[in-house]
Structure 1
Amino acid sequence: MVLRNLLQLFFLITVFSCTAVKPVVEDTLISVKELVKDPETALVDVRVPEQFTEGSAANSVNIPLATIENNLDFFRKQKNTVIFCNTGRQANVAMTVLKKNGIKNVHYGKTLKNVKAIQAEK
């Protein structure tokens, strides 16, 4: 039983870490740069809490990918949301989950580095 659970866990980790993820098509009418700079936009870091506490974008909140579906009401209440992570993979998966659940006001910010660079622009 334990071995089977470990094998399942290994399979899931392998699928999520090694699979090339096709990026979710982003709205071309709304610039992610404009959204990141808009104080009404929720910035959501989908990394694990340990990574988030090490540092994230200014004014961002942490909703780990594993808990996205438990937080759908949060996303529905936002005017706009920009999702990001370390490499963009988890953010892309989060975007897919949210879109499948009818959340349309989410935008792909790609990486933490990208969001921080936008925030640093004058």
Structure 2
Amino acid sequence: MDIEKLIKENLGTIVDVRTYGEFMGGNVANSINIPLSEIPERIEELKALKAPLILCCVSGGRSGQAHHFLSQYGIECYNGGSWLNVNYYKSLSK
């Protein structure tokens, strides 16, 4: 699936896995913040979100870890990489 298209067409949910402090320093409009360290204890919450999940962080490293973990639980998700890139695609949304 084309991540850029998913974001532009507002399909799914953008989940920022950075820390709360990083998230408060700037984030994608309408994204939710679930830090990487909290993902295991918030699996049910993540399963309840509108799929697919587009995961983002600073560079794509933490969102890549989150993608690997969540995929093992059968959650449809994609590594969106940097939140700045996701934010750019979001700014182009219809």
Same fold (TM > 0.5): yes
TM-score by length of 1: 0.69
Counterpart mapping for 1:1-122 below 5 A: 30-77=1-48, 78-103=50-75, 105-121=76-92
TM-score by length of 2: 0.88
Deviation at 1:85, TM superposition (A): 0.2
Structure 2 counterpart of 1:87, one-letter code: S
The 2-side partners of 1:102 and 1:120 are apart by 29
Higher relative contact order (CA 8 A, sep 6+): 2
| Runs of at least 4 residues off by over 2 Å | 37-40
Q: Larger % of helix: which?
A: 1
The 2-side partners of 1:34 and 1:74 are apart by 24
Q: CA RMSD in A?
A: 1.4
Structure 1 counterpart of 2:17, one-letter code: V
The 1-side partners of 2:7 and 2:69 are apart by 21
What is the number of residues matched between the two proteins?
Answer: 92
State which structure, 1 or 2, has the greater radius of gyration over its C-alpha atoms.
1
